[in-house]
Structure 1
Amino acid sequence: MMTQLPDVFPCVPDDLRRFLDRSADVPSPSLIFRRDVMIRNLEAAVALAGGADRLCPHVKTHKCAEIIRLKHAAGIRRFKCATLAEAAMVAEVGADEIVIAYALFGPEVDRFAELVVRYPGVRWSSLVDAVAGVAALGEIGRDVGCWLDVDPGMGRTGIVVGQGAAEVVRAVQATSSLTLRGLHVYDGHRREEALDARTAAVASELAPVLAFRAELGIEGLPIVAGGTPSFPAWVAQGRADVWYSPGIFVLHDARDRLRHPDLPFEPAAVLLSRVVSRPGAGRVTLDLGYKALAPDAPLESRGAPVGLRATSVLQSEEHWVLATDAAEACPPGTRVLVVPDHVCPTIALHPFAHVIDDDGAVVDRWTIDARDR
């Protein structure tokens, strides 16, 4: 039995309704950014954090220089990046501090060194979770920072606090060109629906980190922590030495909107598609294959059509087949908006986004500058 695709809006927002009425000349599939919604999301993040200086947001979600400028306008001046292309983009726009949220090896160390030289006004740092990573950064021979990447149970990268982690810290401290900046704790596995449950889970993962930091005598160093789902849970810990590192929040998506309704953010990225075929009774085919809508989510929740109740039948490279009782009202050419389930990989599929305002008018086109690594 097919499952109903999610619906993230109780009714179609006015800006999207007006945009649909005006979008006859916009090609599909296209990425659409809701500029004023992004601004409100940023304002909500600053308010939740208790100030822009408490934020070190990840830019991997949007990879867009114009969104960095929106973050500047909100007072945000430090950033976390997944790739050196993102870091170069952020440095070009301007930043006080850039954290590379990735261990660097091989030619990436040389590329990082080039950025350090090219943008001397930025405070540069990278993650380390092994002595080998420390040695690689030490070869740069310039003053750069290191964050010990702590694994809080996600099991993807980082090192569990203990003797091995202490050895990495001591290796940083023994390298004259490197400075230990603090501890990095990313908990992307924190998906508890209830905020109370997320808050309790964060408290449990934080306790051994604090004990480890005290044992090494580095209590004065900050912790950069969390993602969007755990953001309010980290705030609830009430610690002045934690920088919050959400990423998805500025664009948000269907996944976090539905799983975590406590988050004060609204989806600001949608996809414009068109019905290109009606392959059978009760079915429509959109021009929204997995080259435009990321397929990492299960088929039954891959995206949330706006104002269209439907179930997902199949998706291929260029097409997405939906079953809907509204098929007769959706002749070929009908425009349909879809909120992606997971916005991060979807953004990377598009070279640019059409930007709309609260009136639904297209006011700009922004490049996805850092799509390449």
Structure 2
Amino acid sequence: MYDYLPTPAVVIELAQMEENIRKMTEAAAGYQIKVRPHIKPHKSVEIARLQLRMGCSGITCAKLGEAEVMAKGGIDDILIAFPLIGQEKMQRLKILSRKARVITIVNSEEGARQLSETFQNSPDKIEVLIEVDGGINRGGKKPYEPTLEFARQIAGLPGIDIKGILYYGGTIYGETDREGFEKTSAREREEMLGTARMLENAGFHMEILSGGNSYSSKMPWLLEGITEIRPGHYLFNDVGQLMSGFAKEQECALRVTASVVSIVDERHAIIDAGSKTLTTDICARKEGYGYVVGRPDITISKLNEEHGFIESEGRLGLEIGDKIAVIPNHACVVPNLAEEVYGIRNGKLDHLIRIDARGKNR
């Protein structure tokens, strides 16, 4: 598999990625939900444009630096799902807002004040969503009354326009079975719609109810009523999705191909992909640092920076120079470690894909 590629190499199966995008947008559309995907799994202008062509309504960026790269690439509807703090970021945001429609989030009076001071004399207000905590205590306001109280505190600030709420139900990643995934998704909908109704009754216009994650977004019938979802690695899938039953092996479009560079014994060998390629992210549902395609008996048991330690339940059956394909535990962090990734179609190299926003973490 991918025998013609130099290793280690990050590979995208293009047809499968496109199918994953299509399935998400079509399923969400059936419940009148827009898809505004996170670009942090791929950080590629090319892939972001593909997502928009295939029906996504805009994009989500984790950081301002990513948004700047995407806007330079011609993308003009961007949500920055991270609180921006400090005058340096305020000035960059102001410049960016002249190039694209930009929405950002607020979760503190200080952050809202800084946005207000930056945009109060601008011809257009900055659109903001109030961040609502989905249970992981990562900065948002608690649902219902705390969110309403915060909205009232910032409502009179000039220069900002409250467009709705943003919710991230991160506790879902701790669930272990389908019942848990569904229960957590249903709670997401309940808390979002309940909070939005409370704000509406208090006079706030809730145009945007932004939620969803890479699990709940695959169950849009449980999110009906919200306006948009922000899935990330749905276009690739990974070991987390595979082991939880939300993806099949062939639906995992992102792989890392690696070569065997040393044989330790009949059950142990070394590959040329370590932590600087696969990352040290783990998956609670599977031991090791990735899933070897077609070889569930192999475990990637340890990583050094450039070395991967693999072992098998029985005889490994590999020789030096053989190549394996690995589905990463967490797809979102792997492309950021590469300048380019290989786009494969029908078993052949189609083209190289540039990771334009690589390292843009500020």
Task: Tell me if both proteins adopt one fold, taking TM over 0.5 as the criterion.
Answer: yes
Aligned pair in 2 of structure 1 residues 135, 352: CA closer, same or farther (>3 Å)?
same
Instruction: Tell me the CA shift for residue 60 of structure 1.
Output: 1.1
Letter in 2 for 1:343: A
Q: 2:130 aligns with which of 118, 142, 148?
A: 148
Report how far residue 336 of structure 1 moved.
0.7
Matched, 1:91 2:71: yes
Letter in 1 for 2:7: S
Written as runs of structure 1 = structure 2, the 5 A alignment for 1:71-110 is: 71-106=51-86, 107-110=88-91
Paired residue type of 1:345: V
Query: What CA deviation, in whole Å up to 9, does each residue of 1:256-292 have, x standing for no partner?
Result: 1221437999211100100010123311111111010
Distance in 1 of aligned mates of 2:223 and 2:56: 22
In the alignment, residue 255 of structure 1 is paired with which amino acid?
G
Specify which of 106, 117, 120 is matched with residue 139 of structure 1.
Answer: 117
CA distance in 1, matches of 2:316, 2:21: 40
| Alignment-derived partner of residue 101 in structure 2 | 123
**SS of equivalent to 1:329:** coil
Which residue in the other structure is 1:244 paired with? 229
Asked if the contact 1:185–1:224 (Cα under 8 Å) also holds between the matched residues in 2, the reply is yes
The answer as to 2:13 corresponding to 1:34 is yes
Gap change, CA 1:338 and 1:85, over 3 Å in 2: same
SS of the aligned residue for 1:292 comes to: helix
Count of residue pairs the alignment pairs up: 347
Q: Note closer, same or farther for the CA distance 1:207–1:124 as it changes in structure 2 (3 Å cut).
A: closer
Greater alpha carbon shift after TM alignment, 44-53 vs 135-144: 44-53
TM superposition shift of 1:347? 1.9
Cα distance 1:238–1:166, how it changes in 2: closer, same or farther (>3 A)?
Answer: closer
Contact persistence 1:53–1:76 (CA under 8 A): no
Look up the match of 2:290.
303
Aligned residue in 2 for 1:346: 334
Q: 1:263 to 1:100 in 2, by over 3 A?
A: farther
1:212 paired residue number:
198
TM-score with structure 2 setting the length: 0.88
Q: Secondary structure at the match of 2:199?
A: helix
Letter in 2 for 1:217: G
Residue identity in the other structure for 2:65: A
For the Cα contact (< 8 Å) 1:53–1:75, is it kept in 2?
A: no
- CA–CA separation in structure 1 for the residues paired with 2:131 and 2:165: 6
Per-residue CA distance 1:207-248 (angstroms, 9 max, x = gap): 542343234233542200011101134542421x42111111
Partner of 1:6: none
List gaps (5 residues or longer) in structure 1: 1-16
Question: Could you tell me how far apart the structure 2 residues matched to 1:103 and 1:123 are?
Answer: 17
1:79-124: CA deviation from partner (whole Å, max 9, x where unpaired): 110012221222233334211110011222222122113x0xx221
Deviations 1:321-353 (A, max 9, x none): 111256553111101100001011122111110
Mark the CA change 1:328 to 1:125 in structure 2 (over 3 Å): closer, same or farther: closer
The offset of 1:167, in angstroms, is 4.2
Distance 1:255 1:76, change over 3 A: same
Q: Secondary structure at the match of 2:127?
A: strand
SS in structure 2 at match of 1:183: strand
CA distance in 1, matches of 2:353, 2:282: 26
The answer for the alignment partner of 1:11 in structure 2 is none
* Alignment map for 1:234-273 (pairs within 5 Å): 234-239=220-225, 241-261=226-246, 266-273=251-258
Give the equivalent residue in structure 2 for 1:226. 212
The structure-2 alpha-carbon separation of the partners of 1:163 and 1:131, relative to structure 1 and needing over 3 Å to count, comes to farther
- CA–CA separation in structure 1 for the residues paired with 2:333 and 2:247: 24
Q: Where does residue 336 of structure 1 map in the other structure?
A: 324
**TM-score, normalised with respect to structure 1:** 0.86
Q: How far, CA to CA, are the matches of 1:48 and 1:94 in structure 2?
A: 27
Query: In structure 1, the residue corresponding to 2:343 is in which secondary structure?
Result: strand
SS of residue paired to 1:296: coil
Whole-angstrom CA distance in 2 between matches of 1:139 and 1:334? 60
Q: Deviations over 1:124-176 (max 9, x none)?
A: 11110111110111122232111000002121121113554334323443122
CA distance in 1, matches of 2:316, 2:208: 58
Matches within 5 A, 1:174-189: 174-189=156-171
Q: Which runs of 5+ in 2 are unaligned?
A: none
- For residues 357 and 20 of structure 2, the distance between their equivalents in structure 1, rounded to whole angstroms, comes to 22
Find the aligned partners of 2:11 and 2:303 in 1 and give their Cα distance. 21
State the shift of 1:201 in Å. Answer: 3.1
| 1:113 matches 2:94 | yes
Alpha carbons 2:134, 2:171 under 8 Å: kept: no
Q: Which amino acid aligns with 1:42?
A: I
Write the letter of the residue equivalent to 2:105: L
Question: Which residue does 1:5 correspond to in 2?
Answer: none
